[in-house]
């Protein structure tokens, strides 16, 4: 999604604004100021632009509220949330992984549109009360009420990755028992809806509905692209179920002697070869794992007098997976625990490591053979 700036935390969830958001903020401000010039011609230019900018900010706070409901429910259901990002097409909650059960997916998906509709209804109520009191406040409230209800309704369209598409996936998943089949249905529906929006937006521009109608085509293109990417991602996961961890484990297990000083060149070399970790042991036994992160926690002054056995993570404490488990299961474990690598055991004995990068390389290889 490109570069973003972090602006704070809400409920412990990091909030970021992508640089693309600046464009849509300026566009919204312009459109609103232009709208106010027609609906309220007596307003001076400074008032039109000021109210337009304020309304645009409040609109994106509404989008943030929509995403927060998704994130809060996800956390309550045991799914970590890495953050929320506002960007050119609205907002996105970055969940550590997808829901593992249909009902969980349904709850996480449906609360966002529901929150938007409820917020819009409340704003309409306030607008009704102040309509004859303050023209500026009335205009802002009417726009925010309308856009929030529109946001809630639009997001319930039955196409992935819209919330309605996730509700559809939850329903098909619950009925068929197949997450992959449900994903196929929801993503294909998302591609159809995105494609129709592109066609509709272009036709509206061609027939004189205004250049702003091209925005419909941009959103449709984004939906089509996101649905296609989600389909490919889940197809890759489905393929990985046919492969065991043994198919992606590093072929050679390199072992660092227990008494190796941490400032030794061999330590940095072995960590580089092992993708950031290496086994520690001797006499045919593995005692633990030395990682780059563990090494970074040791001060430079202590490196020469600290051995690899002192800086390692004991083997029993290092996350592991059985060699005959599916790669899909290993990937799920990595996502759940926020890990890049797992130790691989066979009959309780360490035989190697599997990394997220190795899984990605396997996925790419499988894509080439499929084409």
Q: What are the domain boundaries of the chain?
A: 4-240, 245-370
Please tell me the distance from the alpha carbon of residue 115 to that of residue 153, in angstroms, as a whole number: 11
- DSSP assignment, residue 184? H
Closest CA relative to residue 191, chosen from 161, 227, 219: 227
Better-predicted residue by pLDDT, 171 or 303: 171
Alpha-helical regions (H) of 84-159: 102-130, 135-155
pLDDT in tens, 191-233: 999 999 999 988 888 887 666 678 888 899 999 999 999 999 8
pLDDT in tens, 128-148: 888 777 777 888 899 899 999
pLDDT of residue 173: 97
Better-predicted residue by pLDDT, 3 or 194: 194
Highest average pLDDT, of 226-230, 335-339, 343-347, 353-357, comes from 226-230
Residue 1 pLDDT > 60, yes or no?
A: no
Residue 92 pLDDT > 80, yes or no?
A: yes
- Could you tell me the pLDDT band of residue 109, with boundaries at 50, 70 and 90? very high
pLDDT of residue 370: 64
Helix (H) or strand (E) holding 343: strand 341-346
Residue 51 pLDDT > 80, yes or no?
A: yes
pLDDT of residue 194: 95
pLDDT of residue 271: 84
pLDDT of residue 238: 87
- Could you tell me the pLDDT band of residue 348, with boundaries at 50, 70 and 90? confident
pLDDT in tens, 226-272: 999 999 988 988 888 888 988 888 767 788 899 999 989 898 888 88
pLDDT of residue 215: 82
CA 232, 234, 236, 238 torsion-angle sign: negative
pLDDT of residue 2: 60
Residue 371 pLDDT > 60, yes or no?
A: no
Least confident of 60-64, 100-104, 174-178, 234-238: 234-238
Residue 68 pLDDT > 80, yes or no?
A: yes
* Mean pLDDT of the 1-23 span: 85
* Mean pLDDT of the 72-94 span: 89
* Mean pLDDT of the 315-319 span: 87
pLDDT of residue 216: 85
* Mean pLDDT of the 281-290 span: 86
- Could you tell me the pLDDT band of residue 361, with boundaries at 50, 70 and 90? confident
Helix (H) or strand (E) holding 277: strand 277-282
- For 271-293, give the DSSP string: HHHTTSEEEEEETTEEEEEEEHH
Least confident of 109-118, 146-155, 176-185, 302-311: 302-311
Cβ(350)–Cβ(315) under 8 Å? Answer: yes
Residue 75 pLDDT > 90, yes or no?
A: yes
Cα 34 from chain centre: 35
Q: Which fold has domain 245-370?
A: CBS-domain (3.10.580)
Least confident of 6-15, 139-148, 180-189, 203-212: 203-212
Please tell me the distance from the alpha carbon of residue 343 to that of residue 62, in angstroms, as a whole number: 44
pLDDT of residue 227: 94
How does the average pLDDT of the chain come out, rounded? 88
Q: Could you tell me the strand order of the sheet in which 81-87 lies?
A: 4-10, 13-18, 81-87, 90-95
């Amino acid at each position: 999604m490109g570069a973003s700036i972090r602006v704070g935390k809400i409920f412990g969830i990091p909030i970021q604004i992508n640089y693309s958001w600046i464009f849509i903020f300026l566009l919204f401000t312009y459109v609103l100021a232009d709208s106010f010039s027609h609906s309220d011609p007596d307003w001076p230019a400074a008032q039109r632009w000021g109210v337009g900018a304020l309304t645009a900010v409040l609109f994106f706070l509404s989008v943030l509220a929509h995403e927060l409901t998704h994130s809060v429910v996800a956390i309550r259901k045991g799914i970590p949330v890495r953050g929320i990002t506002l960007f050119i097409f609205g907002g996105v909650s970055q969940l550590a992984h997808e829901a593992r059960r249909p009902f969980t997916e349904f709850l996480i998906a449906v609360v966002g549109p529901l929150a938007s509709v409820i917020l819009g209804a409340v704003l309409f109520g306030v607008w009704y009360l102040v309509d004859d009191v303050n023209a500026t406040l009335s205009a802002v409230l009417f726009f925010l009420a309308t856009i929030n209800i529109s946001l809630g309704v639009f997001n319930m369209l039955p196409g992935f990755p819209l919330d309605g598409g996730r509700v559809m996936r939850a329903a098909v998943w619950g009925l068929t028992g197949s997450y992959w089949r449900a994903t196929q249905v929801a993503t294909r529906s998302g591609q159809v809806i995105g494609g129709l929006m592109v066609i509709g937006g272009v036709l509206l521009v061609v027939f004189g509905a205004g250049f702003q109608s091209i925005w419909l085509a941009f959103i449709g293109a984004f939906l089509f692209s996101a649905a296609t990417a989600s389909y490919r991602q889940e197809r890759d996961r489905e393929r990985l179920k046919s492969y065991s961890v043994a198919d992606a484990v590093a072929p050679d297990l390199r072992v660092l002697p227990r008494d190796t000083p941490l400032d030794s060149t061999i330590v940095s070399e072995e960590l580089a070869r092992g993708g950031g970790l290496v086994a520690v042991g001797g006499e045919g036994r593995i005692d633990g794992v030395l990682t780059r992160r563990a090494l970074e926690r040791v001060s430079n002054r202590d490196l020469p007098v600290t051995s690899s056995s002192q800086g390692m993570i004991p083997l029993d404490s290092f996350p592991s997976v059985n060699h005959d488990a599916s790669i899909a299961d290993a990937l799920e474990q990595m996502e759940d625990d926020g890990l890049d690598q797992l130790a691989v055991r066979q009959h309780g004995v360490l035989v190697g490591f599997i990394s997220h990068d190795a899984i990605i390389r396997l996925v790419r290889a499988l894509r080439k053979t499929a084409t």
